[in-house]
């Protein structure tokens, strides 16, 4: 059977990342994808996951299902972020082992590196320092996922490994102001301020943290590239457990705000609410490993933001 006919289960296929991965696989000729909504398959429930794998027997798993959110959601729903993510990872990775999945890719996140890691952040810096408090529960769960993959490789020789995406954004993002990440929040805030002719928009924190962003279609392309070009053995032989996926450039939140303001066409002022957290001061990843393998991002921040704003406009118009 050719690689492209193998049955691939995309866990989290309804989310922003999973749907972009599915679209990218289909564009490259993969024709045997298995998708389940969270209503059809509750990944937190071990018995459901077990019987799904027993029935479907996928050859490949892309584990992009997760409970995710922005800085405030992570900080407030601490129990949900650690519990849901631990359960999803443990259930899926164990079932993948039991049902002899040939390859599994787990998606981590750049926020699982130490809060004050040297910049740019190399793969080797994982577990070298304390975590950022606002997302510590999420980070601990994601680190457990990375270590589950590594441990199944070391004990059972499974081709399971992790990728570490930077902050992602794009179509299908969550635009809810309480639980979203900064980009969808800012798009919505500026858009609503423009339509309601408000004098100012209030952003969180100080505006000084720096973040690296990657458009979700680029992330999906990198995941498929690594599916085709990376193995657990090649990775763990370099004494690392995962590979960074990012653009390798970052921007200050205040600069990001000005770019979004310009794209949306809002003319008012920007204020900052210092009672809201800043989070990690900076998290720029070193993506030289991925670049050396032959993959580089293609969608600039400006282009990605325009695409995302277009999508948001269509969605809010109900098109
Ligand atoms: O994207 P974000 O929520 O998450 O926030 P993190 C990034 C920065 O933007 C923070 C500031 O310094 C926020 O204070 N910011 C300014 C805003 N205005 C806003 C706003 O209206 N909404 C939001 N959400 N932020 C998350 C982690 O950290 O990143 C997660 O908590 C996850 O675990 C994710 O890994 C990628 O980059 O700070």
Question: How confident is the prediction for the chain on average, in pLDDT?
Answer: 97
In this structure, the residue with its CA closest to atom 7 of ligand 1 is 182
pLDDT over 80 at 17, yes or no? yes
Q: Whose CA is nearest to atom 33 of ligand 1?
A: 135
Predicted local confidence at residue 317, as pLDDT: 83
Q: What is the pLDDT of residues 304-316, one digit of tens each?
A: 999 999 999 999 8
**Residue minimizing CA distance to atom 13 of ligand 1:** 278
SS3 label, residue 168: strand
Residue 57 has pLDDT above 70, yes or no: yes
Known catalytic membership, residue 138: yes
Instruction: State the distance from the centre of ligand 1 to the C-alpha of 181, rounded, in angstroms.
Output: 5
User: What is the per-residue pLDDT across 200-235, written as a single tens digit (0 to 9) for each?
Assistant: 999 999 999 999 999 999 999 999 999 999 999 999
Atom 6 in ligand 1: residue holding the nearest Cα: 71
- Supply the pLDDT for residue 1: 60
Residues 6 or more apart in contact with residue 239 via CB below 8 angstroms: 124
- Mutation test residue for ligand 1: of 182, 207, 216, 250, the one with most atoms within 8 Å of CB: 182
Task: Give me the mean pLDDT over the 251-275 stretch.
Answer: 98
The set of protein residues with a Cβ atom below 6 angstroms from ligand 1 is 70-71, 74, 109, 111, 134-135, 138, 167, 180-182, 185, 203-205, 209, 211, 253, 276-279
Ligand 1 atom at shortest distance from the alpha carbon of 167: 36
Question: Is the distance from CB of 72 to CB of 178 less than 8 angstroms?
Answer: yes
Q: What confidence tier does 130 reach under pLDDT thresholds 50, 70, 90?
A: very high
Calpha distance 7→19 (Å, rounded): 16
pLDDT at 95: 98
Catalytic residue among 138, 153, 266, 297: 138
Cα–Cα dist 300/190, whole Å: 21
- Cα–ligand 1 centroid distance for 247 (angstroms): 18
Separation in Å, CA 232 to CA 1, 161, 221, 227: 22, 5, 19, 10
pLDDT of residue 3: 78
The pLDDT tens digits of the residues spanning 70-125 come to: 999 999 999 999 999 999 999 999 999 999 999 999 999 999 999 999 999 999 99
Q: Which CATH architecture has domain 8-169+213-247+284-298?
A: 3-Layer(aba) Sandwich (3.40)
| Number of the ligand 1 atom closest to the C-alpha atom of 112 | 35
- Per-residue pLDDT tens over the stretch 5-16: 999 999 999 999
- Using the atom order of ligand 1, give the atom closest to the CA of residue 209: 12
Sign of the C-alpha dihedral computed for residues 23, 95, 106 and 293 taken in this order: negative
């Amino acid at each position: 059977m050719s690689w492209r006919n193998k049955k691939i289960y995309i866990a989290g296929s309804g989310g922003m990342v999973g749907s972009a991965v599915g679209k990218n696989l289909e564009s490259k000729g993969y024709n045997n994808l298995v998708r389940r909504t969270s209503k059809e398959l509750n990944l937190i429930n071990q018995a459901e996951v077990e019987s799904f794998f027993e029935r479907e027997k996928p050859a490949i798993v892309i584990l992009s299902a997760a409970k995710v959110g922005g800085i405030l959601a992570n900080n407030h729903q601490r129990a949900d972020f650690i519990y849901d993510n631990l359960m999803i990872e443990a259930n899926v990775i164990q079932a993948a082992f039991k049902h002899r999945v040939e390859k599994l890719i787990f998606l981590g996140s750049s926020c699982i590196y130490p809060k004050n890691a040297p910049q740019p952040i190399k793969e080797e810096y994982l577990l070298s320092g304390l975590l950022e408090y606002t997302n510590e529960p999420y980070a601990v769960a994601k680190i457990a996922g990375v270590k589950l993959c590594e441990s199944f490789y070391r004990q059972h020789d499974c081709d399971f490994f992790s990728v570490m995406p930077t902050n992602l954004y794009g179509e299908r993002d969550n635009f809810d102001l309480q639980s979203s990440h900064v980009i969808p929040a800012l798009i919505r805030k500026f858009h609503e301020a423009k339509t309601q002719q408000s004098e100012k928009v209030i952003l969180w924190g100080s505006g000084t943290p720096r973040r690296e962003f990657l458009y979700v279609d680029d992330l999906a392309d990198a995941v498929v590239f690594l599916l085709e070009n990376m193995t657990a053995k090649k990775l763990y032989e370099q004494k690392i457990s995962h590979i960074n996926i990012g653009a390798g450039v970052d921007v200050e939140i205040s600069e990001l705000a000005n770019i979004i303001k310009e794209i949306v066409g809002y003319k008012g002022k920007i204020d900052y609410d210092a009672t809201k957290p800043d989070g990690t001061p900076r998290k720029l990843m070193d993506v030289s490993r991925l670049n050396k393998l032959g993959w580089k991002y293609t969608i600039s921040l400006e282009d990605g933001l325009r695409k995302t704003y277009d999508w948001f406009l269509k969605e809010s118009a109900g098109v």
